[in-house]
């Protein structure tokens, strides 16, 4: 190869290298932005799953189907979809009295979990609302805190 060609090759390689770096640098930046928001969702989801298995699955089952007319389902539940704020309050304070889920009446008292932090509630909610056939995206701690401050004034949609 003569010097001109070597030179040309060198230029080509340099351009290639520079453009690759630019592309890589830029894509890494956008990737890390998406990555961090999806990582937060994943973290909430995984933590929420652990909390769910520990506190909720014995009644509501690991697949969210509930048990007969004793414990309502969390998968394909109209109550869950239509009463988001109420559900957040139930996680903390429990629930007494009759509720209608998919047209069926449930009346077993659910104990509350007052020791759960707002973050833990957000995590469990993120897990439940994004499992099985449910899809909602991440539930933020700030939203949970806001809702928990107005639990007494909520009305339920059947």
Say how far apart CA 141 and CA 148 lie, in whole Å: 10
Residue 68 as a binder of other proteins (CB under 8 A): the answer is yes
Name the residue nearer to other proteins (CB basis): 13 or 69.
69
Pairing of strands 104-106, 99-101: antiparallel
Residue 53 as a binder of other proteins (CB under 8 A): the answer is no
Q: How many other β-carbons are positioned within 10 Å of the β-carbon of residue 145?
A: 14
Say how far apart CA 87 and CA 120 lie, in whole Å: 14
Name the residue nearer to other proteins (CB basis): 10 or 70.
70
Site for other proteins in 93-122 (CB under 8 A): 107-109, 111
> For residue 95, which phi and psi values (nearest 5 degrees)?
-155, 130
Name the residue nearer to other proteins (CB basis): 109 or 152.
109
Among 13, 46, 67, 119, binds other proteins (CB under 8 A): 67
Q: How far is the CB of 54 from other proteins (least distance, A)?
A: 11
Q: How far is the CB of 109 from other proteins (least distance, A)?
A: 8
The HSE-up count of residue 97 (CA atoms within 13 Å, CB side) is 3
Residue 61 as a binder of other proteins (CB under 8 A): the answer is yes
Secondary-structure breakdown of the chain: helix, strand, coil percentages, each rounded to the nearest 5: 60, 5, 35
What residues make contact with other proteins under the rule CB under 8 A? 58-59, 61, 67-71, 107-109, 111
């Amino acid at each position: 190869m003569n010097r001109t060609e070597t030179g040309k090759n060198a230029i080509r390689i340099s351009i290639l290298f520079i453009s690759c770096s630019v592309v890589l640098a830029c894509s890494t930046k956008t990737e890390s932005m998406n990555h961090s928001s999806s990582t937060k969702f994943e973290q909430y989801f995984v933590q929420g799953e652990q909390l769910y298995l520990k506190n909720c699955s014995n009644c509501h089952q690991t697949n969210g189907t509930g048990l007969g007319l004793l414990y309502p389902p969390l998968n394909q539940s109209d109550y869950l979809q239509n009463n988001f704020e109420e559900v957040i309050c139930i996680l903390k304070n429990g629930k007494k009295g009759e509720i209608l889920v998919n047209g069926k009446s449930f009346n077993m008292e659910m104990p509350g979990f007052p020791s759960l932090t707002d973050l833990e509630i957000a995590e469990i909610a993120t897990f439940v609302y994004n499992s099985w056939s449910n899809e909602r995206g991440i539930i933020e701690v700030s939203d949970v805190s806001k809702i928990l401050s107005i639990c007494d004034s909520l009305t339920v949609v059947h």
